[in-house]
Amino acid sequence: MLLFFALCFVGVAIAGASAFVIFWPLTLVHVRDRHAGTAADFGSGAFLDPRALRWLLAGGYRACGDRSLSGLATPARIALLTLISGLAMAGVLWLASELIP
């Protein structure tokens, strides 16, 4: 039963990854077009750049004061958190299934 729930969390992580792949590039394009200073901090190829992901997870987009940016970055942040937490919970349940006889 634990492995079934672990598989369900993998499905949740896949849903988070799908939403992340939709909203994060839109956010990066918006940052590139309207917030040149922030885009320069990320550099090119910021899709999986740890600094850009840290900026997203920390909510750094709120400091820009752009409601359109918040409208794109907030779903990307929620999707990334869903992806991370889904994989973490799947890993915890898999580990529990290995340790519990």
| Residue 3 pLDDT greater than 80, yes or no | yes
CA-nearest of 22, 24, 9 to 84 is 9
| Residue 97 pLDDT greater than 80, yes or no | yes
pTM of the predicted protein model:
0.90
Alpha helices in 1-66 (DSSP H): 2-34, 36-42, 50-58
Percent of the chain with pLDDT over 90: 72
Lowest mean pLDDT among 11-15, 40-44, 97-101: 40-44
